[in-house]
Structures are given as structure tokens and as C-alpha cells.
Structure 1
């Protein structure tokens, strides 16, 4: 299964490398695009859940690393909920 990393820029300009066990992340994000915080969070939930399920289909268990990445995204996004106009940019994909 082709895993990949993607880099995001948070509203505080911090760049974080994120993980997906599947290239499905590219079906939900476009490099160079900025997403409203809630949209980014929802797209991440969908994509990383699909990726974790693909691992289950192939290996018989959910990908805990994908679910851990989703938890980190949720926690980071929560820090910016009160920030008006908060957005997240997909900086790049790294296959």
C-alpha cells in the first residue's frame, strides 16, 4: 500500500508533516490550496478514515498510525477554533 506524507501550514504559520497510509489523501486535498479550518478538519476525517479502512481491507486491522495522525490534526485544529478566518494550507505531498 503506497503511504505518503503531506505538509500543512497551520494558521500560526507552523508547518507540520502529516502521514497517510494511502494516496487517498490526494482525492481530498490539492497541494497549494488553502482550506477553512472546519473544511480541512472534515476532509482530514474522511480521508484518513478511508485510508485506515483500506489498511483493514488489506491486512485485517485498522491503521493506528492514520488514526493517530487524525487525532493530532483534531488537537491542532482545536487550538485555532476561536481564530476568525482560520485556515490551513496543503503545502505539498511527498510520495
Structure 2
């Protein structure tokens, strides 16, 4: 099952990486795009829930790593004031064998 590492830049320039167990996140994020914080979190919620659902379809169980990534993004986002804050998706990098 392929996975995707998503490299992010937060409003203060801090870099982080989020893990998705599925390439479905490509439907929600684009490398090089900057998103208002609230929009980013909404997209992340949809993307990581979809990724976890894909794992369930293939493996028979939801993916706790996808939910951990989403929780980590929510936690990081709390550090920034919502007004004017943006998150930039720097890179999406796929690794693994089969596409899910």
C-alpha cells in the first residue's frame, strides 16, 4: 500500500511532515499551494478520513496513523491565530508499492 508524506510550512515558517496511508490526499492537496488555516484543516479532515477509509476497504480496519496525523495537524494549528494564517503544502511524496 503506498503512503504519502506531506511536507508543510506553517505561518511562522516552521516545517512539519504529515503521513497519509493513501494517495487519496492528492485529491485534496496540491504541492506549492497555500491554504487559509481553516480551509487547510477542513481539507485535512476530509483527506485523512478518506485515507483511513481506503485502508479499511483494503485491509479491513481503519488506519490509526491517518487519525494520528490529523490530530497532530489540529494540535499544530492551535498555535496560530486564525485570521490571516496560511499553511503551505510544499511537497507530496509517494512511497510504497500498490496504490490504494
TM-score higher than 0.5:
yes
CA distance in 2, matches of 1:94, 1:36: 22
Tell me the TM-score normalized by structure 1.
0.94
Who is 2:87 aligned against? Answer: 88
The alignment partner of 1:25 has SS state of helix
Deviation at 1:79, TM superposition (A): 1.4
Moved >2 Å (runs of 4+)? none
CA distance in 2, matches of 1:84, 1:57: 38
Deviation at 1:84, TM superposition (A): 2.8
* C-alpha RMSD of matched pairs (Å): 0.9
Determine if the alignment matches structure 1 residue 57 to structure 2 residue 57. Answer: yes
Deviation at 1:94, TM superposition (A): 1.2
Runs of 5+ in structure 1 lacking a partner? none
Runs of 5+ in structure 2 lacking a partner? 95-100
Tell me the TM-score normalized by structure 2.
0.90
CA distance in 2, matches of 1:57, 1:49: 12
- Aligned pair count? 94
Deviation at 1:17, TM superposition (A): 1.2
